[in-house]
Chains A and B, each alone.
Chain A
Amino acid sequence: MKRKIPLLITFLVGVIIIISEFIPHKPFGQISGELEKWYLIIAGFAIILGQLSLFKVNLFKIRHRQKNWQFFILTLLSFILMVSIGIFWGTENHPGIFGNGETISNTIGTKPFDYLFDNVYQNLQATMFSLLAFFIASAAYRAFIARTLESSLLLVAAILVMLGNTSLGSALTGWLPESLKFLHLPRISEFIMKYPTTAGQRAIMIGAAFGIIGSSLRIILGIERSYLGGK
């Protein structure tokens, strides 16, 4: 019974959603949107579970003085600080339980929550994102070593695309006569991005779409049950 009820719900909801794609008449046309609202409500409650998990795991590490336990204190303090000031003085357009905190806002120029969001959180986020540039360089260095025919082709294609996207590419091939314009590096770069790359990406997307159809059918029909934790 513990397994059968979730399987039955999955089957019914899956079939209704598929039907609603083809029937605009009420109630089918609205079902998909309504179920999305249900999902959002459940997800809203699930946030509490996430926060409890965050607290539990971090407190455990602090209590048992695990390696680098000081970092976990900082995590919890940051969490408590952001939640508290958000509740007390609100965010940009919403007042908190103590109002809008005009005195603090006049001093720091904005609400405390927004101040921390703009000056701490956004900068930390940008820092993490900027690491990507260095990782791309290191990954590209490994990928562009010409060991086999495939990796050599990759290297050549990458050089053409990179040069074609810079002013150097235009300068190198800008002198070519009109009849040889197809060898102009920006054009070659555009060609590679527009045709072979797009074709490859679409092939992956078509394959993935079939994978999604297959997985969905397995789940709807109850053949695939591992998402319920069982066989």
Chain B
Amino acid sequence: MKKTILMLFLFSASLLFSQDIFFEAVDNPNDDGCAIQLRWDASNISSTKMNIERKDDGGEASLVQKVDKAEGEYMDGEDIKPSIEYVYCFSAWDENDQLIEKVESVVFAKAQWFNSEKISLLILALIITAAILFFIYSAKSGKELYIRKIAGLESIDESVGRATEMGRPILFIPGILDLDDMQTIAGLTILGKVAHKAAEYDAEIIVPVCRSMVLSTAKEVVKEAYLKAGRPDAYNPDSVFYLTDDQFGYVAGVDGIIMREKPAANFLMGAFYAESLILAETGFASGAIQTAGTAMPSQLPFFVVACDYTLIGEELFAASAYLSKEPNQLGSLKGQDLGKALFVILLAIGIVLEISGVHFLKDFLTVY
């Protein structure tokens, strides 16, 4: 028995070492079973033509890739289905078109139930989620939480009050992106609070939007705010209206409104690009009190310069919780702070480890 195994081993080894071409086809890890990785090394032979073919489940062979490098890899993702046997053939020919060698590799593509490359992401997400949930429930149980004052949000009453006193409207711009952007949703939650105050103070609010989906949501938000304030009669459905999807067309429209209507208070809350400064400077020129908020780092300096108050990054997302004063919402802000503290610690450790030449943490946290 032992002798047979030894013979088999020697035979396999001789076969392996007799091959001048290394070729393997393996399942692409961490995917839905729709890709195969191919690797080859034909640097030991002198070939003028090489190619890789694929046979699907005993069917006809089809060309996958013409190979022009002696060593390399290729990802085959065309019509690959999970749990089906694929036979890949690597063939090499000489200058006389004589086949030098042909190597086959059999492979099954597998669909994975967990992407192991994202394990660090999962662990961090679970820690942050647990921290947020812990603080939400501890706030619910009556524990008092300290939240620092955010001047931009404290100023909402002042801005709406100013507009009421001056008898001029309030202009609210919920950014230029659609509802699939979190900044727009954050902007709309602030719109609810501003519209509620406007309804209470009997001030006019104008909300020009540049996305149709945002239009229908903003209309509902403003309508509900007026209902909640007990002023459904004061709600004007035309106060929320669509201008255009085009970035600079929208800017032209809003600038026109600012110059014609001369709103006393402008709110710019959401995602902004190059139009941020055009809007904010026009508002500044009209003499309005301006509050802006965005998480676009490149636009924040413009808002800081041209607006009276600016919500920087996370403050925009904290606005809804901050203004609602509900303990469970405020709890989530505390959870976020804990997440940030964890991040700072990880960054500090990471810097020290990288300087020391230990790359474990960086490799663990890198998601490809």
Contacts and interface: CB of A to CB of B under 8 A. Distances in A.
B241 A226 contact: no
Interface in B307-349: 312-318, 320-321, 324, 326, 328-329, 332-333, 335-336, 339-340, 343
A24 B31 contact: yes
Given A23-B114, A46-B213, A139-B305, A227 B189 contact: yes
A1 interface: no
Contacts, number: 207
A50 B215 contact: yes
A42 B217 CA distance: 13
A215 to B, nearest CB: 5
26 contacts: A22-B122, A23-B113, A24-B111, A25-B111, A39-B180, A43-B213, A46-B213, A48-B212, A49-B216, A49-B242, A50-B212, A57-B238, A132-B277, A139-B305, A205-B313, A208-B295, A210-B314, A210-B339, A211-B186, A213-B129, A215-B182, A223-B136, A226-B188, A226-B221, A227-B189, A228-B224
Interface in A125-148: 125, 128-129, 131-132, 135-136, 138-140, 142-143
A75 to B, nearest CB: 9
Contact of B132 (A201, A214, A231): A214
Interface stretch (B100-108, B143-151, B243-251): B243-251
Interface of A: 18, 21-26, 29-30, 36, 39, 42-43, 46-51, 53-54, 56-57, 60, 67-68, 71, 124-125, 128-129, 131-132, 135-136, 138-140, 142-143, 200-201, 204-208, 210-219, 221, 223-224, 226-231
B32 interface: yes
A179 B243 CA distance: 58
Given A25-B111, A46-B213, A205-B297, A54 B317 contact: no
Interface of B: 30-33, 82, 111-115, 118, 121-122, 125, 128-129, 132-133, 136, 178, 180, 182, 185-186, 188-189, 192-193, 211-213, 215-217, 220-221, 223-225, 228, 238, 241-249, 251-252, 256, 260, 274, 277-278, 280-281, 295, 297-298, 300-302, 304-306, 312-318, 320-321, 324, 326, 328-329, 332-333, 335-336, 339-340, 343
B340 A210 contact: yes
Contact of B316 (A25, A46, A211, A231): A211
A230 B339 CA distance: 28
A60 B241 CA distance: 12
Given A125-B246, A216-B182, 16 more contacts: A22-B118, A22-B122, A43-B178, A51-B242, A56-B241, A57-B238, A128-B252, A211-B186, A213-B132, A214-B321, A215-B186, A217-B129, A219-B185, A223-B136, A223-B332, A226-B221
A44 B144 CA distance: 46
Q: Chain B interface secondary structure, helix, strand, loop or mixed?
A: helix
Contacts of B221: 226-227, 229
A26 B132 CA distance: 30
A205 B340 CA distance: 12
Contacts of A200: 297
Contacts of A212: 182, 295, 317
A223 B139 CA distance: 13
Nearest to A220: B129
Contacts of B113: 23, 25
A146 B118 CA distance: 48
A230 B228 CA distance: 8
Contacts of A211: 186, 295, 313-318, 336
Nearest to B248: A128
B361 to A, nearest CB: 16
Nearest to A46: B212
Contacts of A223: 136, 326, 328-329, 332
Contact of A207 (B314, B324, B328): B314
